[in-house]
Amino acid sequence: MIIPIRCFSCGKLIAHIYKPYLELLEKGERSEDAFKQLGLERFCCQRMIVGHVDLIDDLLKFSRLQ
């Protein structure tokens, strides 16, 4: 739902990389090149970014349960 602050495996901060990563993908960059530009070299951190599914916008469409 919300991008994790740290990688679950190594503990590196990754939350600040998610939006720039999406912007690079929208510009047409390959995923591998985007990771190199952002300085994300570890596979565990890359999987945290690639495997994230942003559901918060979909959940905000529903009313609160009472």
pLDDT at residue 63, as a whole number: 78
Domain 1-66: what homologous superfamily? Homeodomain-like (1.10.10.60)
- Transcribe 5-40 into DSSP letters: SB-TTT--B-GGGHHHHHHHHHTT--HHHHHHHHT-
pLDDT at residue 1, as a whole number: 60
Domain ranges (residues) in the chain: 1-66
Q: How confident is the model at residue 27 (pLDDT cuts 50, 70, 90)?
A: very high
pLDDT at residue 22, as a whole number: 93
